[in-house]
Each structure stands twice: as C-alpha cells, then as structure tokens.
Amino acid sequence: MAASDPVLTTVDEHLARILDRVYPLNPLDVQLLEAHGCVLAEDVAAATDLPAWDNSAMDGYAVLCADVAAASAASPVRLPVVGDIPAGSQVPHRMQPGQALRIMTGAPLPDGADAVVPVEWTDRGTRTVEIREAPELGQHVRRRGDDVRAGAPLLAAGTRLGPRHVALLAAVGRARVLVRPRPRVVVVSTGSELVEPGAAVGFGQVPDANGPGLTAAAREAGAVVYRVGIVPDEPRTLLDTIEDQLVRADAVITTGGVSAGAYDVVKEVLSSLGTVAFTSVAMQPGKPQGFGTIGPDATPIFTLPGNPVSAFVSFEVFVRPAIRRMLGLEPLHRRVVRARCTSPVPSRPGIRQYLRASLDLAGDEGPQVTPLVGQGSHMLASLARANGLLVLPEDVTQVAEGDQVDVVVLEERPA
C-alpha cells in the first residue's frame, strides 16, 4: 500500500477527527472517594482552621512551663495529676498553676496549660507525676490553624485528585466535591465465534479476549466501564444492544465486524445510521476503524477491529486519548521516548506501524528497545510481554541496528 493510496486516512487525521468530537464531561458533585482520580472542577478553600483547636502532639502531661522550668533528671519536679484528657474528649478542661493533666495525642489542650511534657520524660504517674525535663513554651502543642487557615486556598480547579488530595479534602470536612466525572464506557464484543472466557470452547470458537482486555484498558484510563456480553453477528441483536446501552454510555466501544468480510455486522448496521464513518487508517495493526456519534446525545462510538492486538493498539492510539479528554486530563497521550533499536527492522512505507517491544529505560547508553518475536495481530502473548510500542513512522522504510526510534511507554517497568 503506498502513501498516495487515496482511500487511506492517516493516524493523525483519524485521531484529530475523534478529538474534535469528544469533550470534557460536565462537572458533577460526587462523593469524595468517587472523585479519586478525577479532575477537580472547583477551587477548594478551607472552611475552618486545621487543627480546629490547640491540641497535644504527644502522649504526656499538659503543664504550665513556669511550673517545671527547673525540672531535670537530677532534681525532678513533682505535680499532682488532676485528670485525664483522651483523644475525642469533648468537654473543655482547665487547670490551675501547679497542676498537670494527663493528655493523649490529638486531645484538646486544656486552658491554663502552655506545653506538653512527653510521657517519656516522666515516671508515667497517674496521681502525681515526676517530670525530669523542662519543656519549652508551646513545645509538643499543635496550634489551631498551623496546618490550614480558614479561608485559605487549598486545591485549584484542574488538580487531578490523588490519595494525598483526598486525605486533605476529608480533613477539611468535604464529603463531596465537584469534579469532571469518569466517563461511562460500554464495551461490546461482536462475533458469532466468541464464547465467554472460561466456558467450553468448541471447534471454531474462541474466548472473548477483547471484552475483558478493553474493559481493563478503559478502566485503567479512568473510565467506569460496563462490559456487555458477547453479541453474535446478527444486525438486529447488535442494533438493539447498542440502543439499549446508550442510556448509560458516555462512549461506546465495539470490536469486530468492521473489515470487509461477509458478516461484518458492525459496519453493516452502523453504516445505515449514517453517522459513523468507516475508514481505512494507514496503520498496522488496526487498519479498519470506525468512529462517529450516535443517539440523541451524540454519544461517541469507536468501532475497533476484532483482532485482539489490533483492538488493543487502536484503543491506545484513539480511545485512550479520548477518554482522557472526557476526564479533562492532560497530557492526552502516553510518554514517548527515543530509544536505541537493538536490531534492524524493515518498515512498510506509507503506513505507521506499532511493534510490540521490550523497552529498557535504564540502559547504560540510554533507553534501548527490542521488537518482540510474534507480531501477528492475533498474537496476544507478545502483547502481554511488551512494555512499549515501537513506532515506525509512515516515511521510514528501514531501521538499522543502533538507530534511534520512538517508543510509546506502556509501562515503566522492565519487560
């Protein structure tokens, strides 16, 4: 196939067409844990001081510094212990000069105290306590607002909420936050030869690898994924399934049935709707592609080829960036590194090839990449072994050993 072949669309054209028609989802108020991994759509300020009151940083004794200023191991100071303040104590305590209160980490500092003596500096007494070291003024006391001041800006809109942000939001009392929600993605496998993984596989049948694989991939990209059972190559069943699923879908992914075969039902059914364009993309694997919008909400639909590696590479190149756009996540694309190719590779002119590869980012002479054996588009074992996709651009006809090439980093770990 030559670059000039008029029926081929380039990878970049097809991707641009997709990204042109996919938008960040409207912000939604969601529960804090649901917001994990999503992009914040509001500026968050603290409603209150944090800590909200002065409290103890240690298990020990609340004291007045002046009372124990002379304490040392050689001449300890003894004070009466007039009470106990556990964490969670909700009654305000007060003490007089010359007294001590036993206090636990996080418990409110009593009025009249100005330091905490850690239990390790004492005889741990409960009626009286012997103090062997003098604290400084305010020592082991966490002051109200020393972490966060009421009204202070905490997190800016656009922040992707990781565990650290979730903890902060919880600490300032936010049970819900406004984020761009996770897109709900429906995954449909088509093919009359498909059976559920784990079911008996008869002659001519294969387990559905794409359904589970793409469900996992879309989930990892940040979507909430609904995997719909296998749909046989019957136009009516497929149409009904897609129509049923549209109510809960922000995007639909199908696999199979988009090539030039007699039972390529996805193409047959969706072509008649007139809103999905089927395209031959100048790439390998993954040449037959379809994309469009369907239903009352113009839901994006990606019709990926059936060969499992083609489906996976298509997802990586076209669907993952679209899911990230819906989430409001930047960058849209995975990291691409330049790496030294350890073997010569022939490259087909006019198309962009993605080779499953083993990428070593920690090589002495910089990143190194080796294409894996088994590049057929049905070969999943090499896909599972790969941690990178070596990109052979359209204009390259040959890579020599030692040449620098682009590699999409699928995983940072060694393959």
Helices assigned H by DSSP within 205-336: 210-220, 235-245, 265-273, 308-314, 320-327
Q: Which is nearer to Mg ion, 108 or 305 (CB)?
A: 305
What is the radius of gyration, based on Cα positions, of the chain?
Answer: 31
Q: Is 292 in the site for Mg ion (CB under 5 A)?
A: no
Q: How big is the CA angle at 357 (ends 353 and 363), to the nearest 5 degrees?
A: 130
What is the separation of C-alpha 83 from the centre of its chain, rounded to a whole number of angstroms? Answer: 49
Q: Which residue of 99, 215, 307, 353 would you call a contact of ligand AMP, by CB under 6 A?
A: 307
How far apart CA 92 and CA 89 sit, in angstroms, is 8
Q: Is 189 in the site for ligand AMP (CB under 6 A)?
A: yes
Q: Is 256 in the site for Mg ion (CB under 5 A)?
A: yes
For the bound state, the minimum distance from the C-beta of residue 264 to Mg ion, rounded and expressed in Å, comes to 7
Instruction: Identify which range of 18-26, 128-136, 250-258, 326-334 contacts ligand AMP by CB under 6 A.
Output: 250-258
How far apart CA 53 and CA 49 sit, in angstroms, is 8
Q: Out of Mg ion, ligand AMP, none, which partner does residue 408 contact, by CB within 5 to 8 A per kind?
A: none
Q: Is 209 in the site for ligand AMP (CB under 6 A)?
A: yes
User: For residues 308-337, which are near ligand AMP according to CB under 6 A?
Assistant: 308
User: For residues 298-357, which are near Mg ion according to CB under 5 A?
Assistant: 306
* HSE value, Cβ hemisphere, 13 Å, CA-based, for 57: 13
The answer to whether the peptide bond before residue 285 is cis (omega within 30 degrees of 0) is yes
Q: Which residue of 150, 157, 195, 206 would you call a contact of ligand AMP, by CB under 6 A?
A: 206
Q: Is 255 in the site for ligand AMP (CB under 6 A)?
A: yes
Residue nearest to ligand AMP (CB): 306
Q: Is 208 in the site for ligand AMP (CB under 6 A)?
A: yes
Q: Is 77 in the site for ligand AMP (CB under 6 A)?
A: no
End-to-end CA distance of the chain: 32
17: tokens are 């067409």
Binding interface with ligand AMP (CB under 6 A): 189, 191, 193-194, 206, 208-211, 255-259, 261, 305-308
